[in-house]
Amino acid sequence: MARLWLCAAGAAVFLFCLLLHSRFCGCPVSRKFAFQFSWRKEEVFYRLDLGWPKYSEYFTGVTFCVAVDSLNGLVYVAQRGDNIPKVLVFTDDGYFLRAWNYTVDTPHGMFVSSTPHEQSVWITDVGSGSYGHTVKKYNSFGDLVQVLGTPGKKGTGLNPLQFDNPAELYVEDTGDIYIVDGDGGLNNRLVKLSQDFMILWLRGENGSGPAKFNIPHSVTLDSDGRVWVADRGNKRLQVFDKDTGEWIGAWSNCFTEEGPSSVRFTPNGKYLVVTQLNLSRLSILAAPPVGSIGDCSVVSTIQLADQVLPHLLEVDRKTGAIYVAEIGAKQVQKYVPWYNHVPAFLV
Ligand SMILES: *[C@@H]1O[C@H](CO)[C@@H](O)[C@H](O)[C@H]1NC(C)=O
Ligand SMILES: *[C@@H]1O[C@H](CO)[C@@H](O)[C@H](O)[C@H]1NC(C)=O
Ligand SMILES: *[C@@H]1O[C@H](CO)[C@@H](O)[C@H](O)[C@H]1NC(C)=O
């Protein structure tokens, strides 16, 4: 009995501290983190990690995207603004390491591919200056390694490949690259490139039918060889076969209010995590079994404060932590999974 009381007292102190922290945080940048869970049957919870980053004053611009190198425990944030560092590098426990901005104009999306021998930070750049309309690869210290597209020139061309507001990309361990182009602009397409940058297949033109897009904004892969695209303007996720580019299906029933801005999978592949920008909402969706995708079903939601505007997110493949780039709140926040650790009286 005494133990039980001790435990309850501990939980109360913990909750009190959480509240206290949220009320009297006193951070120089207002950190908006009001959120709530709508809970249904599943066993995955997320809680805001208030200790990430250690100091939020590094966010001096509008934070558009975030990428995670889970192999090396690094988190990259890209922000827009004048005369500021465009890329910030943090450790996954929240310490700031370094910043760079050489050749980065207007970052939109980001992806890190990391092997034991090479760490690559890919950035899509929607700027109209001399580095814009490109998809670029950097090393961890900001040295430019590869440029795809025609710098400073938007276009629809395939040879050489051109972009107009490339939104995001996903790079497989094999080196194959999936690019969504773009965030408004001339193109509405999904392109798969080989590791030596040859076009393997291309889907899409502007429109609302199957395999057509209206602002393809985010792209990811699942472990069953399916490519998932957040087709934001058409308020749906579209799914393709990664080898053939063949259209597999679409989910719209979860997005009647607003289309998805970002799409990622949890490390176990059981859930998708999506953002809805203007709704300031993160949703956890149940991943479908192999084959046909059926209907979309929301497992839980994290409602952020009004005007936080979550744009793109990334999931740490090792820990399952979710990092969300918020263009309204001008910060990146980290949510950590909290599996089955919730006392029954809280549910
Ligand atoms: C690059 O970042 C530095 C600070 O780290 C800043 O002084 C400089 O103005 C930035 N350059 C551009 C072009 O934004
Ligand atoms: C693309 O199609 C949508 C309707 O499906 C339309 O609202 C939009 O203006 C079109 N965009 C372009 C660039 O043609
Ligand atoms: C969000 O709202 C703004 C302003 O009303 C609008 O321009 C934008 O298209 C909206 N974005 C989405 C994804 O609905």
DSSP secondary structure string for all residues of 86-106: SEEEEETTS-EEEEE-TT--S
CB atoms within 10 A of CB 117: 5
Q: Is the CB of 208 under 6 A from ligand 2?
A: yes
Tally of domains within the chain: 1
pLDDT, tens only, 101-138: 999 999 999 999 999 899 999 999 999 999 999 999 99
Nearest CA to ligand 3 atom 6: 278
pLDDT of amino acid 291: 85
In a domain, 140, yes or no: yes
> Rounded to whole angstroms, how far apart are CA atoms 293 and 221?
14
In a domain, 323, yes or no: yes
The range of the structural domain enclosing residue 231 comes to: 40-337
Q: At CB < 8 A and 24+ separation, what contacts does 129-136 make?
A: 129/105, 130/105, 131/103, 131/104, 131/105, 132/105, 132/106, 133/162, 133/163, 133/164, 133/165, 133/166, 134/163, 134/166, 135/163, 135/166, 135/169, 135/179, 136/103, 136/104
In a domain, 185, yes or no: yes
> Rounded to whole angstroms, how far apart are CA atoms 115 and 22?
38
> Rounded to whole angstroms, how far apart are CA atoms 246 and 7?
55
User: Hey, which of 183, 188, 213, 214 would you mutate to test ligand 2's pocket, going by the most ligand atoms within 8 Å of its Cβ?
Assistant: 214
Q: State percent of the chain over pLDDT 90.
A: 82
pLDDT, tens only, 270-289: 999 999 999 999 999 999 99
Dihedral-angle region of residue 249 (phi above 0 means left; psi in -120 to 50 means alpha; beta otherwise): left
pLDDT of amino acid 338: 80
In a domain, 344, yes or no: no
Sequence-distant (6+) residues with CB within 8 A of 340 are 43
User: Hey, which of 188, 206, 208 would you mutate to test ligand 2's pocket, going by the most ligand atoms within 8 Å of its Cβ?
Assistant: 206
Nearest CA to ligand 1 atom 12: 83
Q: Is the CB of 142 under 6 A from ligand 1?
A: no
Q: Is the CB of 233 under 6 A from ligand 3?
A: no
> Rounded to whole angstroms, how far apart are CA atoms 263 and 278?
15
pLDDT of amino acid 27: 31
Q: How far is the CA of 183 from the centre of ligand 2 (A)?
A: 12
Q: What is the DSSP letter of 61?
A: S
In a domain, 293, yes or no: yes
Nearest CA to ligand 3 atom 4: 278
In a domain, 28, yes or no: no
Could you tell me the CA-to-CA distances from 18 to 36, 47, 51, 67 in Å, in that order?
A: 14, 11, 12, 27
> Rounded to whole angstroms, how far apart are CA atoms 340 and 336?
13
Question: Relative to the alpha carbon of 60, which ligand is closest?
Answer: 1
Question: CATH number for the domain including 136?
Answer: 2.120.10.30
* Residue positions counted in the chain: 347
Q: Which numbered atom of ligand 3 lies nearest the CA of 259?
A: 13
User: Hey, which of 277, 281, 311, 312 would you mutate to test ligand 3's pocket, going by the most ligand atoms within 8 Å of its Cβ?
Assistant: 277
Q: Is the CB of 305 under 6 A from ligand 1?
A: no
In a domain, 177, yes or no: yes
pLDDT of amino acid 288: 96
In a domain, 331, yes or no: yes
Residues of the chain with pLDDT under 50: 1-2, 4, 6-42, 347
Q: Which numbered atom of ligand 2 lies nearest the CA of 234?
A: 5
pLDDT of amino acid 177: 98
Dihedral-angle region of residue 158 (phi above 0 means left; psi in -120 to 50 means alpha; beta otherwise): alpha
